[in-house]
C-alpha cells in the first residue's frame, strides 16, 4: 500500500509540475519581449536583407519598446549566419533572416550542411519578394523574351549572361532549362558588377534587381525584357513578366523572411508572426517596401514552411543539371 501511495503522490506532484511549467510559459510569452532581440543577418551591411530588418526593427521598437540588434554574420553564401540561427537558444531572443538562397538553393548547392534547412528552423514569416528583371544591353537584337529565345536558339553558345551570386545564377540556369536554350552564364562577384557588365556590353544579358535597374533602363543603358515575378512590378508596370512575354510559368526572384531556431515555442512564433504581419500591413511600411520594388508577402508560419520546401524542390534539379557544387 505504501508503494501505491508513493506512486499516486508522484503522479500528483508531476501534474503540479506540468501545471507550473505551463503557467511559467504563459507568463514568459505574455511578457515577451523583455529584452532586446538579436537578428542574425547572413550577409553584409547595406544590402536588401539589412534594409528590410532595419525597417521592421524600427517599428517593432516603437510598439514593443525593445530594440532589434542586427548581427551581421557573413560567409559561405549565408551558411555561417544560418548555422548560428539554428544553434541559438530557442527563446525568441535570437532570430535569423533567410532568403531563397539560404533556405532553398543551399540545400542542393552544398553537399554537406551542418544543419537541416527544414528541421532546424521555425519559420515566422516571409517579408517580401524582390523579383528579378531580365535586362539586356541595347545592342542585343532582341526586344522581348520570344525574340531572345529565337535568337539564342539560332546562336547557341554565343550569347553571354552575367550573374552576381547563386540565386541569380540559378535563375539564369532556370531560364536556360525552361526555354531550351544554350547561353553562357558568367559569374561575377556581386549583383552590381554583373549588371555593370551588361551595361558596358561586356555581356549581353543579366538578371538585375528591379529597383536598381529602373534608372539604367530609363536612361537607355539597358533594355528590360521581362520581370521575373508572376505579376507585373508596380515600379515597371509597362514591362511584361517573363511568363506572359513568352515563357509560361517562369518565376525568379529573391524572397526574404524571418526564422527562429526549431525548438522555439509555437506561441512565441505566432506572437512574432502577428507583430511582423501587423507591421507589414502598415501603409507607410508598404509604401517604403514597394518604393524599393518589393512585393509584400506577410504569410503564416505554415505557409512559409511550405514555401521553403517548395523552393528546395524547385532548385534541386536545376543545381544538378548545371553541375554546380559549393565546397
| C-alpha–C-alpha distance, residues 117 and 107, integer Å | 7
| C-alpha–C-alpha distance, residues 66 and 299, integer Å | 23
The domain spanning residue 73 has which CATH number?
3.40.190.150
| Residue 219 shares a structural domain with residue 259 | no
Q: Is the pTM of this model over 0.95?
A: no
Is 233 a member of any domain?
Answer: yes
Domain boundary among 193, 214, 245: 245
| Residue 163 shares a structural domain with residue 192 | yes
SS3 205: strand
The domain spanning residue 147 has which CATH number?
3.40.190.10
Half-sphere CA count of 303, side-chain side, radius 13 A: 10
Contacts of 204 (CB under 8 A, 6+ apart): 136, 137, 139, 140, 159, 160, 161, 198
Contacts of 188 (CB under 8 A, 6+ apart): 162, 163, 164, 194, 197
Strand partners, 257: 98, 126
What number of other Cβ atoms are within 10 A of residue 317's Cβ? 12
From residue 34, alpha-carbon distances to 68, 91, 97 in Å are 12, 11, 21
- At 47 the pLDDT is 84
Taking the chain (327 residues) in consecutive chunks of 10 residues, what is each chunk's mean pLDDT?
43 50 56 94 90 93 93 93 97 96 93 93 96 96 96 96 89 94 92 92 94 91 95 91 94 95 97 97 95 92 97 93 80
- Cis, bond preceding 33 (omega within 30 deg of 0): yes
Domain boundary among 204, 227, 245: 245
- At 24 the pLDDT is 45
Is 12 a member of any domain?
Answer: no
- At 165 the pLDDT is 79
Is 9 a member of any domain?
Answer: no
Question: Which residue's entry shows cell 561586356?
Answer: 202
Residue 147 belongs to what domain range?
131-245
* Long-range Cβ contact pairs of 179-185 (< 8 A, separation 24 or more): 179/149, 179/152, 179/247, 180/153, 181/149, 181/152, 181/153, 181/156, 182/152, 182/156, 182/157, 183/152, 183/157, 183/159, 184/157, 184/158, 184/159, 184/160, 185/161, 185/322
Beta pairing class for 223-227 and 68-72? unpaired
| Residue 152 shares a structural domain with residue 226 | yes
Domain boundary among 198, 223, 245: 245
| Residue 227 shares a structural domain with residue 284 | no
| Residue 259 shares a structural domain with residue 117 | yes
* Range list of H helices, the chain: 2-30, 48-64, 79-87, 106-109, 145-154, 166-179, 191-200, 210-218, 242-245, 266-280, 283-291, 301-322
Is 73 a member of any domain?
Answer: yes
Domains: count for the chain: 2
What number of other Cβ atoms are within 10 A of residue 178's Cβ? 17
| Residue 235 shares a structural domain with residue 293 | no
| Residue 223 shares a structural domain with residue 271 | no
Amino acid at each position: 500500500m505504501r508503494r501505491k501511495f508513493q506512486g499516486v503522490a508522484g503522479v500528483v506532484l508531476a501534474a503540479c509540475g506540468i501545471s507550473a511549467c505551463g503557467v511559467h510559459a504563459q507568463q514568459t510569452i505574455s511578457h515577451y519581449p523583455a529584452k532586446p532581440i538579436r537578428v542574425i543577418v547572413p550577409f553584409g551591411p547595406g544590402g536588401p536583407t539589412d534594409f528590410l530588418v532595419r525597417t521592421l526593427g524600427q517599428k517593432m521598437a516603437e510598439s514593443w519598446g525593445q530594440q532589434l540588434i542586427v548581427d551581421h554574420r557573413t560567409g559561405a553564401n549565408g551558411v555561417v549566419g544560418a548555422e548560428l540561427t539554428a544553434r541559438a537558444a530557442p527563446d525568441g531572443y535570437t532570430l535569423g533572416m533567410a532568403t531563397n538562397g539560404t533556405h532553398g538553393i543551399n540545400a542542393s548547392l552544398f553537399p554537406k550542411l551542418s544543419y537541416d534547412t527544414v528541421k532546424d528552423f521555425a519559420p515566422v514569416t516571409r517579408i517580401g519578394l524582390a523579383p528579378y528583371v531580365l535586362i539586356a544591353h541595347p545592342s542585343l537584337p532582341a526586344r522581348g523574351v520570344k525574340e531572345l529565345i529565337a535568337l539564342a536558339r539560332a546562336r547557341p553558345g554565343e550569347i553571354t549572361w552575367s550573374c552576381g551570386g547563386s540565386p541569380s545564377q540559378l535563375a539564369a540556369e532556370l531560364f536556360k532549362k525552361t526555354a531550351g536554350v544554350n547561353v553562357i552564364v558568367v559569374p561575377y562577384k556581386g549583383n552590381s558588377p554583373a549588371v555593370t557588365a551588361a551595361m558596358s556590353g561586356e555581356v549581353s544579358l543579366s538578371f538585375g534587381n528591379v529597383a536598381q535597374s529602373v534608372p539604367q533602363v530609363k536612361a537607355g543603358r539597358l533594355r528590360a525584357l521581362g520581370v521575373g515575378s508572376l505579376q507585373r512590378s508596380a515600379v515597371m508596370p509597362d514591362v511584361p513578366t517573363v511568363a506572359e512575354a513568352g515563357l509560361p510559368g517562369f518565376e525568379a526572384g529573391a524572397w526574404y523572411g524571418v526564422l527562429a531556431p526549431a525548438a522555439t515555442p509555437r506561441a512565441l512564433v505566432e506572437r512574432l508572426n502577428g507583430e511582423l504581419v501587423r507591421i507589414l500591413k502598415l501603409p507607410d511600411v508598404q509604401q517604403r517596401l514597394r518604393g524599393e520594388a518589393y512585393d509584400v508577402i506577410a504569410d503564416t508560419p505554415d505557409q512559409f514552411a511550405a514555401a521553403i520546401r517548395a523552393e528546395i524542390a524547385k532548385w534541386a534539379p536545376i543545381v544538378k543539371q548545371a553541375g554546380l557544387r559549393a565546397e
